[in-house]
Amino acid sequence: MKKQHTFHIPVMGIGFTIDTPLKVAPYGISSVLSLGDDKLADRMRAHYCNKLNIPFVEVPKDDADGRANRITMYLNLMNEMVKNKFQEIKNASFEKGSELTKYFEMLPDFNDLKKEYNRMKNESDSSVIEKIQHWLKENMTPGSIDVNIMTKLDRANFTKTGEQLPQHMNDAHAALRGFANSDVNAGVVLSAGLSPRLYSYISNFDGFFPDENEQLAKKVILKVSDYRSALVQGKFLAKKGIWVTEYRIESGLNCGGHAFATDGFLMGPILEEFRLHREELIEQVHEILNDALEGLGRKRLSKPLELLVTAQGGVGTAEEHEFLMEHYKMDAVGWGTPFLLVPEAVNIDGDSFKILSEATEEDLYLSDISPIGVPFNSVKGNTKDILKEEKISEGKPGSPCPSQFLKIYNTEFTEKPICLASRQYQKLKIAELDAKGVNPEEYKKQYDKITVKSCICAGLVMTAYTENNLLRKSDGEGISICPGPNMAYFSKKSTLKEMVDHIYGRINVLNDSYRPHMFIKEFNMYINYLKNKIEETKPNLTIKQKKQLVLFIQNLEKGNEYYDSLFTDVKEYFTDAKSSIKKELAATKEVLAELNAEIENLSIATPVTQ
């Protein structure tokens, strides 16, 4: 199905975009919803069934495959609602202010449908107008209802008697099964890295294999941080007979939510590598795929399947969007954080909206609040963290763990994993700390490290409950927000059309604060990230850690050279910002030289002998 827009809305949190496809897909805009919380999906299904007077069939609590079935039923309803709303728009007339007119007005000006639409507006012959209108309606397409699964969040599940269920009943496996069994023809975005078990499980579902017409009903979209990881993961899946339809490149730090930092590889050089080696990627993976299909007794493909390369993370202007499309040949660009100020497209409560709209660069930070141990982009003053601090001051740190989705890794004190944000874990860890008898300064440092973890399972869901009147007492309180640093440059509430118009350069919704180029912003974030790494490792530095720091800064230096050359050679873009970009690159070069000297002078810690 032809995509009408050159942007998509990535997943944001869990509740923010849980029903975004219903709000934007009928207008041809693709978006991604999270499959992290099946209970949320079920409650949203009940909400929409009630709203549309559709009978709600509850998934029994003792359903052996409840998680997968709840996800399947929600996606099926979402698909049905999107189709119905799309048809309503299609059946409308081309009148000023109609939903049909809105569909076409939002399209990019270079889109074939938009060109014909503009021709229709300037046409006076009624018979010609009628023909154009018929053609336009016949060629309209809805956006895609894509879903996201974080591969790291694959919690094992247990029977009531404590026996561990088979691997395919793990959370991520069940979510994948729920998507595979749905009637949605779309893509599953797999993020957070290669999971051999989960990736292998995909081959259990026929929809991920090409049909007799060499088409895919279900598609795999990989969120990747660099070319090498894309090639490795693409080949791994190809050996299973699975083709990756899209490689979605995301900035390691300049993004919302969990930030998977690279070893100093910057966005520009990464995009350049994809630009240079895209055909090589297609050829290598296609050959492996065909051999695998043949080995599985399936038909070899006559030609490579469609492969898209897209980018997201920190994009904020139409010029940056166009530059990524034209210079790096991206097929689309993801716009996430700015849509948190578009209530028409996402679930956002009043308090969170105010926090986001007033957020400055200083308010947006890379936090340690995530229980999975991955840096997490957040904003100061979010209500979940305020409530967390209140509980800490009352001497009651930790969460009661209502959702339990992050009971994955830690077995320090228990046989079964528990969550680092839970009251159970923090109580045990603090008791261990108390027994150590460390000095007050060290005690506070370690205590803060334990209690900083936040219950994001509940916090990232809450807006869907509050904004749809679904909140229960058992859901708790407080909302976690996960904007990227780009939030500092957007302040006003926008309609869907206004934000789309901003993306395509028809209007400007940025605030008046100075906004660095997306590449420079990310570069400075990596420098700060490196500074923190130096401070963290300095007291007990190992030879391996020092080598990692050296490699990191070498990659940043290469990135600086690349950008210096890029902004010298590119003539038709960023002409007004060239001088400030050059100054900022000169400044980063000086900082890197200082950090390089500091790293060289770092001493390896002497092991303590017993």
The two tokens of residue 456 are 């994001």
Distance CA 6, CA 108 (A): 8
For tokens 């690159």, the residue is 585
pLDDT bracket for residue 610 (50, 70, 90): very low
pLDDT bracket for residue 409 (50, 70, 90): confident
- H/E segment holding residue 560: helix 543-569
- Digit-coded pLDDT (tens) for 546-583: 999 999 999 999 999 999 999 999 999 999 999 999 99
What pLDDT does residue 2 have?
A: 81
Q: Can you name the residues that pair with 250 across neighbouring β-strands?
A: 312
- Digit-coded pLDDT (tens) for 421-448: 999 999 999 999 999 999 999 999 999 9
Helix (H, G, I), strand (E, B) or coil at 542: coil
The count of other CB atoms within 10 Å of the CB of residue 295 is 10
> Is it the case that residue 608 has pLDDT exceeding 70?
no
**Domains of the chain, earliest start first:** 7-339 (3.20.20), 340-502 (no CATH), 516-600 (1.20.58)
> Is it the case that residue 609 has pLDDT exceeding 90?
no
Residue 145 half-sphere exposure toward CB, CA atoms < 13 A:
26
Question: Could you tell me which of 312, 326, 321, 313 has the C-alpha nearest to residue 502?
Answer: 321
Please give the C-alpha separations between residue 223 and each of 11, 78, 478, in angstroms, as whole numbers. Answer: 11, 23, 29
What pLDDT does residue 558 have?
A: 99
Distance CA 398, CA 391 (A): 8
> Is it the case that residue 590 has pLDDT exceeding 90?
yes
- Digit-coded pLDDT (tens) for 112-147: 999 999 999 999 999 999 999 999 999 999 999 999
> Is it the case that residue 99 has pLDDT exceeding 60?
yes
Question: CB neighbours of 596 closer than 8 A, spacing ≥ 6?
Answer: 553, 557
Q: What percent of the chain has pLDDT over 90?
A: 97
User: Are 334 and 8 in contact, with CB atoms under 8 Å apart?
Assistant: yes
What pLDDT does residue 265 have?
A: 98
Please give the C-alpha separations between residue 557 and each of 201, 254, 275, 526, in angstroms, as whole numbers. Answer: 40, 18, 21, 11
- Digit-coded pLDDT (tens) for 220-272: 999 999 999 999 999 999 999 999 999 999 999 999 999 999 999 999 999 99
- 71-80, 191-200, 305-314, 401-410: the lowest-pLDDT one: 401-410
DSSP readout, 190-259?
A: EESS--HHHHHHGGG-GGGS--TTS--SSEEEEEESSHHHHHHHHHHHHTTT--EEEEEEE-SSSSSEE-
Distance CA 225, CA 555 (A): 14
Mean pLDDT over all residues of the chain?
A: 97
Q: What percent of the chain has pLDDT over 70?
A: 99
